[in-house]
Amino acid sequence: MEEIEQPSRNNLEGLKGWLNPSRYGWERISYWFQRLTGVFLLLYFIGHVYETSTIVNGQNAWESFLELTQTVWGHLFLILVIGACTFHSANGIRLIFTHSGIGLGTPGRPDYPYSPSSLNYRQKSGIWIALILSAAAMYYGFNILFGE
């Protein structure tokens, strides 16, 4: 290949493109949210493994660390974790299917006005289902954590 020695980064959209989910429809929102929840869950996971490790230092150490999440804000944070986990998992399953070419339709002869078969209603409903499941899980978690 003719290498361009140092390709220019001039005018790249950069992080703004990653972080701005508007403009391109539901699939772009799914991309944005899958990434956001993935990173958030990893951070939680690291903290969580650290949190549980306090148990080896006895009951007192465990209980004093646990107090962090036994507050209103701590509970709200856990609810976010549950929501993120549900969305990321459900949408992750959808993405594994699409990355395997399933549920996207087949190539054909495009006619004006073009409507790309890969952005079909099955994909959009998959995203909505993941969002609804996530909301339901958060509602359920809310009732358990704040109930009674």
Partner 1 sequence: MESHRILKESQIMKIHYVTGIAAIFVVAVHILMRLIVPFELSLEYDYIISNYKNIFYVLILESILVLVSVHGFNGIRIILLELRQSKAWENMITVVTISAMIALIAYGTRTIILANGL
Partner 2 sequence: MNNTDSINEDKIVLKVYRENRGQKSGAHYDRFEVPYKKWTTVLDALLYVKSYNDPSIAIRYSCRMAMCGSCGMKINGIPRLACYTKISELETSTIECEPLSNFPIIRDLVTDFSLFFNHHKDIQPYIQSNEGVETDTEKKTFSFYQSPEDVDRYLQFSYCIKCGLCNSACPTAGTDLRFPGPQALAQLYRYYADTRDESKKRLDIVDDRHGIWRCHFAGSCSKVCPKGVDPALGIQLLRSYMLGISKDNKELAKKIEINTDKDNNSN
Positions touching partner 2 (CB under 8 A) are 1-2, 4, 7-18, 23-25, 27-28, 30-32, 34-35, 95, 98-102, 104-105, 107-112, 114-119, 123
Residues shown for the chain? 148
Please, which residues have CB within 8 angstroms of residue 25's CB and are 6 or more apart in sequence? 119
Query: Is residue 84 a contact point for ligand HEM (CB under 6 A)?
Result: no
* Identity of the amino acid at 68: L
Q: What is the CA radius of gyration of the chain?
A: 21
Nearest to 116 by CA among 33, 21, 16, 26: 26
Cα–Cα distance for residue pair 30/62, rounded to 1 Å: 37
Query: Is residue 102 a contact point for ligand HEM (CB under 6 A)?
Result: no
Q: At what angle do helices 121-146 and 72-99 cross, to 10 degrees?
A: 160
Query: Is residue 53 a contact point for partner 1 (CB under 8 A)?
Result: yes
List of residues contacting ligand HEM (CB under 6 A): 34-35, 38-39, 41-42, 45, 48-49, 52, 78, 81-82, 85, 88-89, 92-93, 95-96
List of residues contacting partner 1 (CB under 8 A): 35, 38-39, 41-42, 45-46, 49-50, 52-53, 55-56, 59, 62-63, 66, 82, 85, 89, 92-93, 96, 99, 144-145
